[in-house]
């Protein structure tokens, strides 16, 4: 996904003089050709994340469209007040693109884990959040985000589904168990594990790579009495959105995702998926417990 991001951004910088890129050393080498061609619009401020977002706000105030990129915890968590004040409060907007989603690099430990990023972005108003599930989704999502006027967060991951799906943000049903069946909404790279886990269960599985704004209409259209969220970031991040969307209906909601507890374990992304119950076996166990305990 990062390679696609670099190629697409490099092309956008060449095509649109309104586009600018702000970096804080991360990925700077990959953007060296673009920096050589557009030294005034490819700006690496060094390891200064507060400044990186402040600069993006200033660029936007002069009419440019900044793309801001670094590791997720440093982009969203370290510079959160700059997102709130230097972008939103100024009525300035930017496209944030992170790498290092959740446990993409677990051997680096807690400092490089970022399961809370989407929750934090979700405290802001009017942001679009894109969570691509395949490298093939990255270019059109990025182009869409940059072409818009509002702020967006594009969350890249090393984890991926086998094939790309559409990018219009609508819930896409990938497996239909018929009217009234429990609805599983898998976000981004969780889809393949969800479909593998639930292949023989009577549940509808839908996909989205745009959790904000959440496809409320699609949810109301497809949702039965039971809704199961599978998100690759903090469990429960989208619970409030689903609950509000279904407030007028009796329903139950199970929100699966990354846990809050610090595990203090290294290992691989697969290990962490297992520990957080987001691998196929964990998802199956949680969904069966929720939908039909008798199936155990």
Partner 1 sequence: MTATTTTAAIAEAAAPLDGRPPVAPLLERVRAGREFGTNVYSTIDVLQVLYHRVLRVHPTAVDDPDRDRFLLSKGHAVAGYYAVLAAAQFFPADWLDDQGGPASRLGDHPDRLLVPGVEIGSGSLGHGLGLGVGTALGLRAQGRLEPRVYVLLGDAELDEGSNHEAITYAGTTGLANLTAIVIDNSSATHGWPGGPAARFTVDGWTAATVDGRDHDALHTALTGHDGNRPHVVVAVVEPKEG
What is the binding site for partner 1 (CB under 8 A)?
17, 20, 40-41, 43, 45-46, 48, 50-51, 53-64, 66, 81-82, 85-86, 89-91
Residue among 67 and 234 whose Cβ is closer to partner 1: 67
**CB 116, min distance to partner 1, A:** 21
**CB 85, min distance to partner 1, A:** 6
Residue among 58 and 236 whose Cβ is closer to partner 1: 58
**CB 17, min distance to partner 1, A:** 8
Residue with tokens 């599930």: 133
Q: Which residues contact 144 (CB under 8 A, 6 or more apart)?
A: 167
Residue among 38 and 284 whose Cβ is closer to partner 1: 38
Residue with tokens 């279904």: 246
**CB 5, min distance to partner 1, A:** 21
Contact 276, 262 (CB under 8 A): no
Residue among 83 and 145 whose Cβ is closer to partner 1: 83
Residue among 63 and 293 whose Cβ is closer to partner 1: 63
Q: Which residues contact 215 (CB under 8 A, 6 or more apart)?
A: 169, 170, 171, 208
**CB 122, min distance to partner 1, A:** 21
Residue among 22 and 206 whose Cβ is closer to partner 1: 22
Residue 158's alpha-carbon distances to 8, 114, 135, in angstroms, are 17, 14, 9
**CB 41, min distance to partner 1, A:** 5
**Omega of the bond leading into 70 within 30 degrees of 0 (cis):** no
Phi, psi of 2 (to 5 degrees): -65, -40
Chain centre to alpha carbon of residue 264:
23
Phi, psi of 43 (to 5 degrees): -120, 110
Q: Which two tokens stand for residue 195?
A: 């479909």
Residue among 58 and 282 whose Cβ is closer to partner 1: 58
Contact 295, 233 (CB under 8 A): no
Contact 158, 269 (CB under 8 A): yes
Q: How far apart are the first and last CA of the chain?
A: 38
CB count in 10 Å sphere of residue 148: 13
Residue among 45 and 174 whose Cβ is closer to partner 1: 45
**CB 145, min distance to partner 1, A:** 19
**CB 35, min distance to partner 1, A:** 13
Contact 217, 243 (CB under 8 A): no
């Amino acid at each position: 996904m990062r390679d696609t991001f670099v190629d697409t951004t490099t092309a956008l910088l060449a095509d649109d003089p309104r586009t600018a890129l702000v970096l804080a050393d991360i990925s700077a080498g990959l953007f060296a050709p673009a920096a050589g061609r557009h030294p005034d619009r490819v700006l690496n401020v060094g390891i200064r994340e507060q400044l990186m977002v402040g600069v993006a706000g200033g660029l936007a105030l002069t009419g440019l469209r900044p793309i801001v990129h670094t590791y997720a915890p440093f982009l969203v968590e370290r510079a959160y007040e700059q997102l709130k004040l230097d972008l939103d409060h100024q009525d300035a907007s930017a496209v944030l693109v992170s790498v290092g989603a959740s446990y993409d690099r677990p051997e680096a430990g807690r400092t490089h884990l970022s399961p809370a990023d989407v929750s934090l972005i979700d405290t802001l108003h009017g942001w679009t959040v894109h969570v691509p599930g395949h490298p093939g989704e990255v270019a059109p999502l990025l182009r869409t985000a940059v072409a818009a006027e509002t702020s967006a967060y594009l969350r890249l991951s090393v984890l991926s589904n086998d094939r790309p799906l559409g990018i219009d943000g609508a819930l896409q049903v990938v497996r239909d168990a018929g009217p009234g069946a429990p609805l599983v909404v898998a976000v981004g790279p969780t889809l393949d594990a969800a479909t593998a886990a639930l292949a023989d269960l009577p549940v509808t599985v839908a996909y989205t790579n745009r959790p904000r704004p959440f496809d409320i209409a699609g949810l109301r259209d497809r949702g039965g009495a039971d809704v199961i969220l599978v998100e690759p970031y903090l469990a429960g991040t989208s619970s409030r959105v689903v609950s509000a969307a279904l407030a007028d209906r009796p329903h139950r909601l199970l929100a699966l995702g990354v846990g809050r507890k610090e595990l203090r374990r290294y290992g691989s992304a697969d290990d962490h998926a297992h520990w957080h119950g987001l691998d196929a076996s964990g998802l199956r166990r949680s969904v069966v417990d929720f939908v039909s305990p008798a199936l155990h």
